[in-house]
Amino acid sequence: MFAALGRNVFSFSSVEFHLGRACLTGLPLWIMGTGSASAHVKWFCAYNVAGQPRGLENVLCEDFELLVVMALLGLYVTSVVECSFLGRAIIGALDRITGRLQPYTELMIRAVCGFFFVSIWAVGGILLTPELKSTSPLVDVLHLVIAAGVLSRRTMPISALGIGICFAIAVQDYGIFHLADYPIFLGIAAYLALTGLRLNLFGVPPLNVVRYATGATLMWASVEKWAYPEWTFPLFGAHPGLAMGFDGEFFMRAAGVVEFALAFALVWTPLIRRCAAAALLGFFISACFEFGKVDTIGHSAIIAILFAILFDNRRVEKDDVALPLLAPAGFCAALAVTLFTYYAGHAALFRTALHQAELRQTIPATGEIGPWL
């Protein structure tokens, strides 16, 4: 009787299934409330890439520090869980639920890439994203070549080359700092080329390459939320429920920290990155319902990649489970490097100030602030 009870009620497979279902449904629902913040603000609002960002002393405020501490605690707890029996059970559950879908990962990414480039070809006048405009008819032809190239593995490197050309044109027209928003396109190009040629990049599998590029893309976008929160404020008027009743400044800080933490998690260990992918899918899919076709098409590629990360059930070495304390340490290092790169790069390219005191020193002595503030 007890054996039957154990098989029917407390079986390991049953526990795995319910844990996996919780990860796949609970995490996106938990994050859904702030999901609309994933709409790329440059696609819907006025912006000025060369404008003065918020000073670092305004970004690194008490609220920001508290939010970062909460993110560090979440990463540490999740790392502890991953090293435990519970973590192994969750990984097993995710493998069981997504196992039948994992073999179709490559096909899914190729299909979505084809859909994306056919869609922007149909709209016309777009390089890679809605704000990156082009009047050249050759760009439209290039989009069709890219879309056609993903139909076969043998021609996927041609699609990769086409994406690289589009990215290079965008850098020439809009500058390297603007295109720092989109390293994911280089990751997709690398994925298509490596997969088509059946190669790894210095031992790194193609899916890992695009995963790292996705994490870098989202970490950079998080800093933009802190540096230019005012870009998003018009959306709060058009979509009153977006800020969930919070002050706009605090909401943008919180949204940036959550996005940065999940982006960092994408480059970490298997359980953490797969749970982060599930949560980010909640972000992006909810944003599609809120902001319509533009957001759906624009984020279709990253959604496909996040599904691929979620489905990635490749067995890993024991070394892939890091010590729990390494996750908070890695997060702090990534945050410091990204913030420094963003602000130092912006100051070098556009001669902007790093903090408010420096900005006041650069204002002319006549008191005419003009465009300075």
Report the distance separating Cα 313 and Cα 132, nearest Å.
Answer: 36
Cα 269 to the center of its chain, rounded Å: 16
Sequence-ordered alpha helix ranges (H) in 198-247: 206-227, 233-238
Report the distance separating Cα 178 and Cα 220, nearest Å.
Answer: 11
Residue pair 353/55 in contact by the 8 Å Cβ criterion: yes
- Return the SS3 of 371: helix
Residue pair 309/279 in contact by the 8 Å Cβ criterion: no
CA dihedral 132, 137, 138, 144 (to 10 degrees): 80
**Would you put residue 247 in left (φ > 0), alpha (ψ -120 to 50) or beta?**
beta
- Return the SS3 of 364: coil
As given in the structure block, the two tokens for residue 314 are 């490749």
HEC string of 238-294 equals: HCCCCCCCCCHHHHHHHHHHHHHHHHHHHCCCHHHHHHHHHHHHHHHHHHHHHHCHH
pLDDT, tens digit only, all 373 positions of the chain? 333 334 443 344 444 444 444 444 334 434 434 444 456 788 888 899 999 999 999 899 989 999 999 999 999 999 999 988 999 899 999 999 998 999 999 999 999 999 999 999 999 999 999 999 998 889 999 999 999 999 999 999 999 999 999 999 999 999 999 999 999 999 999 999 999 999 999 999 999 999 999 999 999 999 999 999 999 888 888 777 777 778 888 999 999 999 999 999 999 999 999 999 999 999 899 888 888 898 999 999 999 999 999 999 876 555 456 688 899 999 999 999 999 999 999 999 999 988 765 555 544 433 333 332 2
Report the distance separating Cα 69 and Cα 359, nearest Å.
Answer: 29
CA dihedral 126, 129, 133, 135 (to 10 degrees): -20
As given in the structure block, the two tokens for residue 126 are 């777009």
Domain ranges of the chain: 53-88+220-347, 98-199
Task: Indicate the DSSP class of residue 99.
Answer: T
Sequence-ordered alpha helix ranges (H) in the chain: 2-8, 12-31, 56-59, 62-82, 85-98, 105-123, 137-149, 156-174, 176-179, 183-197, 206-227, 233-238, 248-266, 270-291, 293-298, 300-311, 326-350, 356-362
